[in-house]
Amino acid sequence: MNPSPISDLSRLCVHTITTKPWLLEQAIDNYAAAGVGGITVWRQALAGHSPSAAGERIRGAGLSIVSLCRGGFFPARDEASRQGAIDENRRVIDEAAALGAPLIVLVCGAVPGLPLSQARRQIADGIAAVLPHAAASRVKLAIEPLHPMYADDRSAINTMSQAAAICAELRSPWLGIALDVYHVWWDPDLESEIDRCGRAGWLSAFHVCDWRTPTTDLLEDRGLPGEGCIPVRQIRGWVERAGFDGFNEVEVFSKTRWAGDQAQFLRDITNWYLQHV
Amino acid sequence: MNPSPISDLSRLCVHTITTKPWLLEQAIDNYAAAGVGGITVWRQALAGHSPSAAGERIRGAGLSIVSLCRGGFFPARDEASRQGAIDENRRVIDEAAALGAPLIVLVCGAVPGLPLSQARRQIADGIAAVLPHAAASRVKLAIEPLHPMYADDRSAINTMSQAAAICAELRSPWLGIALDVYHVWWDPDLESEIDRCGRAGWLSAFHVCDWRTPTTDLLEDRGLPGEGCIPVRQIRGWVERAGFDGFNEVEVFSKTRWAGDQAQFLRDITNWYLQHV
């Protein structure tokens, strides 16, 4: 049974990448004016800004900072590159702390031709290496399982079960999972994995969008919830039943939407959110 | 450890769709002249032919008929359409029997917006409904788990584990699994699932190709083994260790390759096969 519809925008968070053509300032002002409750800041949008000043501006506009996107990309063919990734993730943690973001989403990484089993080991080791700095900075890291179609060069972590295995191995209050419906909606074990991860305290972020039929681009053809075949509201029900009470984050990459009017797109986001999430 | 390279083309099977621009007769003659051991016939290539005459011609050219592609597409929103799919699959079985193909590959189907759990139930029920006719016709059905990126409208069966669950439920010597590396290479449980399915006698077909980075089309941008990141030879080793000794079937959908010279493509297929499978 699906949960009740959502009646307001207080738990809606929008990712800056969703309205990619907007500068960070435009995103902040427009989200706040629309009544959106939260914002997830992408590092591209933050480039050239002082993270702490950006954080002040966001909070001053009345928005909650939900997370910083993104860290990760741990696997590499040589030790120097793996160490470089660890150093970079420590910088991302500093950036999140300065911004005032309580959480960093990890796109864990993959290298074409590097065996997935090795990449998976390197990911767990990389996260273990940066976790103490995350804890000291009071910033949580959230492993985002990515759709198996990204297993070549974006993430070797492709299911909730794999993300949970790393959480179980590293067992830290500063490590959790970011569930994006786009990546895991097809998983036959989704409901039970959500239940298990929620009970373990690992469900740390919930991203929504939709899978369009046909999908014409592997990266940038996502739809708003309701524009595709993902049972977003049902999955929200599972997530909430598992104890999650955070934001519902709209993260849409869409060439088509980015080419259009962003103010209209934001109106669509809030309307479709209330109707379909 | 990877298995030894393959030294000849006797266990190479090519799918007619791989060289889609060729008529069936051209495919037969050219595959046979190249020393290819087997052919999997797609129904599109068979259209307008008498299946029994086509079968005679193929055997006369010295090729083994490995399978007929494809049956399936069982889920639908209404009972009449589901019954229509069952009837159609019985016709595919008749066609395979007339052709002399020992096996039919099942692309199980999915309907955007139809809950995956329902689609999965309808698939098992649909297969159960046609299995007696398959057995009477001495034609095996092989469930092909499809990549999760096809869960919207092509197949709600996306892992070896799901295919195995249907085999375990229906338990028939006329039901097995067609493993295509493209669909399952990312699965963290792939090696153990292959082992389990092989021991159960369910591994019935082995399809090879490769995942290109970047992949520019969800359907028609596959590579030959060696052109991408899938450890094809390693997976062949797992499959053979699990007892499989059938053909290695090259099934490549590629707009780029189809636009080129098919005779050259066939030379590439045999060369890359010996080097990378």
Residue pLDDT, tens place only, B146-174: 999 999 999 999 999 999 999 999 999 99
Per residue in A67-106, pLDDT (tens digit) is 999 999 999 999 999 999 999 999 999 999 999 999 999 9
Torsion-angle region of residue A89: left (phi > 0), alpha (psi -120 to 50) or beta? alpha
Please say if the pLDDT value at position B234 is more than 80: yes
Mean pLDDT score of chain B: 98
- Does A211 contact B152 at a Cβ distance shorter than 8 Å? yes
- pLDDT surpassing 90 at residue B1: no
pLDDT of A136 over the 90 cut: yes
pLDDT confidence band for B109 (50 / 70 / 90): very high
Residue of A nearest to B163 (CA): A188
Mean pLDDT, residues B23-27 = 98
Chain A residues touching B120 at Cβ < 8 A: 188
- Confidence check: pLDDT of A60 > 90: yes
CA distance B12 to A86: 45
Average pLDDT for A20-40: 98
Query: C-alpha B59: how far from its chain's center?
Result: 20
Task: Give the DSSP letter of residue A11.
Answer: T
The CA distance from B50 to the nearest CA of chain A, in Å, is 34
B147 and A149 within 8 Å at the Cβ level: the answer is yes
User: What interface predicted TM-score (ipTM) does this complex get?
Assistant: 0.96
**Contact pairs from chain A to chain B, CB under 8 Å:** 69
Q: What pLDDT is recorded for position A26?
A: 98
- Alpha-carbon gap, residue A263 to A258, rounded angstroms: 11
pLDDT tens digits, A145-173: 999 999 999 999 999 999 999 999 999 99
B13 neighbors B64 (Cβ within 8 angstroms): yes
CB-based contact A187 B148, cutoff 8 Å: yes
Full-model pTM: 0.97
Give the three-class secondary structure for A28.
helix
Chain B: nearest CA to A158, how far in angstroms?
8
pLDDT at A1: 77
**Hey, are the CB atoms on A213 and B151 less than 8 Å from each other?**
no
3-state SS of chain B? CCCCCCCCCCCEEEEHHHHCCCCHHHHHHHHHHHCCCEEEEEHHHHCCCCHHHHHHHHHHCCCEEEEEEEEECCCCCCHHHHHHHHHHHHHHHHHHHHHCCCEEEEECECCCCCCHHHHHHHHHHHHHHHHHHHHHCCCEEEECCCCHHHCCCCECCCCHHHHHHHHHHHCCCCEEEEEEHHHHCCCCCHHHHHHHHHHCCCEEEEEECECCCCCCCCCCECECCCCCCCCHHHHHHHHHHCCCCCCEEECCCEHHHHCCCHHHHHHHHHHHHHHHC
Mean pLDDT score, B74-84: 98
Q: Nearest Cα to B148, choosing from A179, A182, A249, A144?
A: A182
pLDDT value of position A143: 99
pLDDT cut 90: percent of chain A above it: 100
Selected for mutation to probe chain B from A184, A186, A192, A213 (highest B CB count within 10 Å) is: A186
Q: Which of A180, A215, A229 to mutate to test the interface with B (most CBs of B within 10 A)?
A: A229
Predicted pLDDT at B217? 96
User: Which of A186, A187, A215 has the CB atom closest to B218's CB atom?
Assistant: A215
- Chain B residues in contact with A227 by the CB 8 A cut-off are none
**Residue B231 banded pLDDT, cuts 50, 70, 90:** very high
